[in-house]
Amino acid sequence: MMTRPTSVAEAVDALLLATGTAPGAVPGDASASPEPDSAASAAAHLLRMAELYEDAQTELTDALVAAHDRLLAVYDLTSAQADSRDHAEAYGRTAAAILRSTDCDAGVLLGSGVRYTVGDSTHRSRLFGLCKAALRKGVTDAEIVADAPLPTMVAPVPRTIPALVVALSRSEGPAFDTGDVKLLGAVTSVIGGLVNLTRMHQREVERAQLEQEHKAASELAQAVLSAEPPHVTGTDVYARCVPAHLAGGDFFAFVPRPGTLWFAVGDVAGKGLPAAMIMTRAVTSIRNACASGDDSDPGAIVNRVNDELYEYLFSAGRFITMAVGRYRTGDGYIDICNAGHSPVARADGDGVTVIKPNTLPLGALQHAGAKSVRVPFSPGDLLVLGSDGLAEQQNRDGQLFGYDRFLDAVGRAHQSLSYGRRADDAPQQVAQRLFAEVALHAQGTQPDDDRTVVVLRATEMTS
């Protein structure tokens, strides 16, 4: 019984035996089997065909392995960006994946702020030169470089701003053909999208870092505002500041001294962190001036702060509106200097009176010569100092809350206190009512500016 052949050669031998021809005999040899030569020739032809089939099968296997390697390289290319810890690593992995997917052994990825090489460094300078020439030329498609010492291709990376160019070469293997050019074009098209994703990711990381730094700086800036208004005999005080962003330019400051309360409310021109940085310096200057120990009036305080900050504000292109006041226990009045600030109003039994500006904002003019005015402040009277973010709050139709509405709201708040409301938290009630009326007007519209209110209410003197 014949055994099953396990190779092409054994199969041919079995065929020769079956036809009476000795295995290994040359067709037509006299010593061979007496069977016709046609059978031996057919067997020999079959052997040659089998050998050719084996060769083709080997080549096909090699091609499939190479295609699989390229497929893995393309996979690595698409995952390089997602798996990389930073953009430098992503670019390096991208360049390496390009080599594998194109069967090259040297490559360069070049662009503004991007310079990566992979593989054999022997021809690095030549490839860099080709990339620079392609960037200057503004190459738009992948192309084979003519007259190069080694097979070389150059291609732009599409949809990248600033532009990127890739140059590849191989020291072994066939010259590049149109199929390689198409493959490189497809690979660089994928790279273009991945590079843009990497850049977007990097920008988001940088933006998040900047926001974190901004938040920390904003918290430090807002920390300069007094946590709790001081208690001074003869008056109750409440203050509230709500920045439109993380930080803003609105501020208030209190400096209590024996029998005296100094207070200030102001607004730095501009919004956000730049205004907040100026605000912190202004608050420090105001506190130092008010706590200096002499008996200056508010006008002198404004002049001193303006002289100190003028050059700084001028160089920054900013100004500060501010009202500074001084209340002394038992005086029955408040001295106040209004440097371009509004709204500032006093409410008593006769209605609401606007305390208009009587000097220029800080930073508008050096040595402005500010002076104070004196306003009555009897038990039950209110002094309300706000910021323009309240009066200029818009609603959905773009209508401003307005200064008239603000003054009307102050009058209603004062009247409500006259009808038996608790006196110890009266300033807080007034401030909350003002914010509530502004919010009702806004109809959900987000504020565009900082909002600040300081309320002082004169109280009966107690022994």
Residue type for position 425:
D
Confidence check: pLDDT of 78 > 60:
no
Per-residue pLDDT tens over the stretch 275-315: 888 888 999 999 999 888 666 799 999 999 999 999 999 99
pLDDT bin (cut points 50, 70, 90) of residue 262 is very high
| DSSP one-letter code for 419 | T
Tally the residues of the chain: 463
Q: In what order do the strands lie in the sheet with 152-157?
A: 114-119, 106-111, 164-169, 152-157, 143-144
- Architecture label for domain 57-202: 2-Layer Sandwich (3.30)
Confidence check: pLDDT of 433 > 90:
yes
The string over 315-324, giving b where at least 16 C-beta atoms fall within 10 Å of a residue's C-beta and e elsewhere, is ebebbbbbbb
CB 260 within 8 A of CB 326: yes
pLDDT above 70 covers what percent of the chain? 73
Overall average pLDDT of the 23-35 stretch: 50
Give me the pLDDT at residue 427, please: 92
CB 400 within 8 A of CB 392: yes
Confidence check: pLDDT of 242 > 80:
yes
pLDDT bin (cut points 50, 70, 90) of residue 270 is confident
Burial classification of residue 398, based on how many CB atoms lie within 10 Å of its CB (0-12 exposed, 13-18 middle, 19 or more buried): exposed
pLDDT bin (cut points 50, 70, 90) of residue 372 is very high
Overall average pLDDT of the 45-64 stretch: 64
CB 337 within 8 A of CB 323: yes
Confidence check: pLDDT of 64 > 60:
no
pLDDT bin (cut points 50, 70, 90) of residue 32 is very low
Confidence check: pLDDT of 322 > 70:
yes
Residues contacting 8, CB < 8 A, separation 6+: 47, 50, 51, 53, 54
Alpha-helical runs (H) found in 223-297:
272-290
Least confident of 184-188, 316-320, 376-380: 184-188
Confidence check: pLDDT of 81 > 70:
no
**Residues forming beta bridges with residue 328, ordered by sequence position:** 260
pLDDT bin (cut points 50, 70, 90) of residue 343 is very high
For the chain, give every residue range classified as CATH 3.30.450.270: 57-202
- Strand locations in 281-358, DSSP E? 320-328, 333-339, 344-348, 351-354
Given the candidates 3.30.70.660, 3.40.50.720, 3.60.40.10, 3.90.1300.10, the CATH classification of the domain at 229-458 is 3.60.40.10
For the chain, give every residue range classified as CATH 3.60.40.10: 229-458
Whether the pTM exceeds 0.75: the reply is no
CB 279 within 8 A of CB 269: no
Give me the pLDDT at residue 386, please: 94
CB 302 within 8 A of CB 264: no
Per-residue pLDDT tens over the stretch 110-168: 887 777 778 888 888 888 889 898 888 888 888 999 888 888 989 888 877 778 888 88
CA 277 to chain centre: 21
